[in-house]
Amino acid sequence: MMLRCGRVCGVAGLLLAVIASGGSALGQDKRDAPTPKTSPSQSPAVSNQNPPASSDPNAQQDDNPKRILGIIPNFETTNDTPAVQEPLTVKEKYVLAYHQSVDFSAHIGNAFQAALQQASNGQPHYGQGWGPYAQRFGAGEVDQVTSSFFIFGFLPHILHEDPRYFRKAKGPVWSRIHYAATRTVISRTDSGDPTFNTPQVLGQLLQQGISTSYYPAQDRSVSAVFQNWGINLAYTSAYNVLKEFYPDFLRIVFHRHKEQATSAPAN
C-alpha cells in the first residue's frame, strides 16, 4: 500500500511540476503578428503531400517525419512558421484523430507495448499466455482510439483549440526542452492565442475513465485511473521533447553521412 501511495504521489508531484512550469510559460507565450497563411487544405498536419516550393529562400520547410523511427505516429507535429498557423478546420481535426487511431504504426506500437507488459507482467490481473496478450493488445487499441478522438478531434472541435504540436525548432537546448514539456498543458486556440491544453489534460482523464469498462476488475479503481492519467501526461511531455529534437537528430546524422561521402577519396 505504501509503495502504491509513493508511486501515486511521485506521479502527482511530476504532474504538478509540469503544470506549474506550464503556467509560468503560458504568460510568456505571445501570438505572432498576423502574416499571410496557406489554405487549410494545405496544412501539413493532415497532408501526405510535400509542401509547395516557397518563393522565399529563407522559408523553413516542414522537416517533421510523419512517423518517428518508422513506427511512432507523429502526424500532429509541424514547425511553428507563419505558413502553418492557419487553424485546422473541424474536418481536419477529426481526420487527424482518425490517422492517429488507425495508422499501421499505431497498431505496431500497441502490439509492442502489449509484449512489454506481458514480459514484465504489467497489470498482472490479465495473466499470461496468448489470450491475456490479446486482451492487453485489445485494450491498447481501444485506448488509442478513445484518446485520439478526445485529444485531436472532439475536444479541440468544441473548445476551438488547435491540437497540433508546433515545434520551436531553434534556440537554446534547455529553452526548447522547457517549451516542449510544457506543451502538455499549453495549447493554442484556433485564433493563435495560448491557452490551457484542456483537450490533452481532460482527454487523457476521460480516456482513463472509459478504460475502466474493459480493464480487469482489480484495476478499476479511482487511484489507478489517476495514476495512469498522470503517467500518460508525463509520457506526453517526454514525447514532445522527442518530437522537438528528432528532426535535428536526423539532420545531424544525414549531414555526417553526406560529409563522409564527400570526403571519401575517389577510386
Residue 1 domain flag: no
Residue the block writes with cell 505572432:
32
Give the global pTM: 0.70
pLDDT higher than 90, residue 187 = yes
The string of pLDDT tens digits covering residues 213-255 is: 888 887 778 888 898 899 889 989 999 999 999 999 888 887 6
Q: What is the pLDDT of residue 118?
A: 78
Residue 22 domain flag: no
Residue 90 domain flag: yes
Cell numbers found for residue 42:
494545405
Residue 171 domain flag: yes
**Distance in angstroms (rounded) separating the CA atoms of residues 83 and 267:** 45
Residue 173 domain flag: yes
**Distance in angstroms (rounded) separating the CA atoms of residues 122 and 138:** 15
Residue 115 domain flag: yes
Residue 64 domain flag: no
Determine phi and psi for 139, rounding to 5 degrees.
-65, -40
Total of domains in the chain: 1
Residue 163 CB-half CA count within 13 A = 34
The string of pLDDT tens digits covering residues 1-46 is: 333 444 444 444 444 444 445 555 555 555 544 444 444 444 444 4
The domain of 215 spans 73-263
Separation in Å, CA 229 to CA 12, 187, 197? 10, 18, 15
The string of pLDDT tens digits covering residues 78-135 is: 888 877 678 899 999 999 999 888 888 778 878 887 888 778 776 667 778 888 788 8
Residue 59 domain flag: no
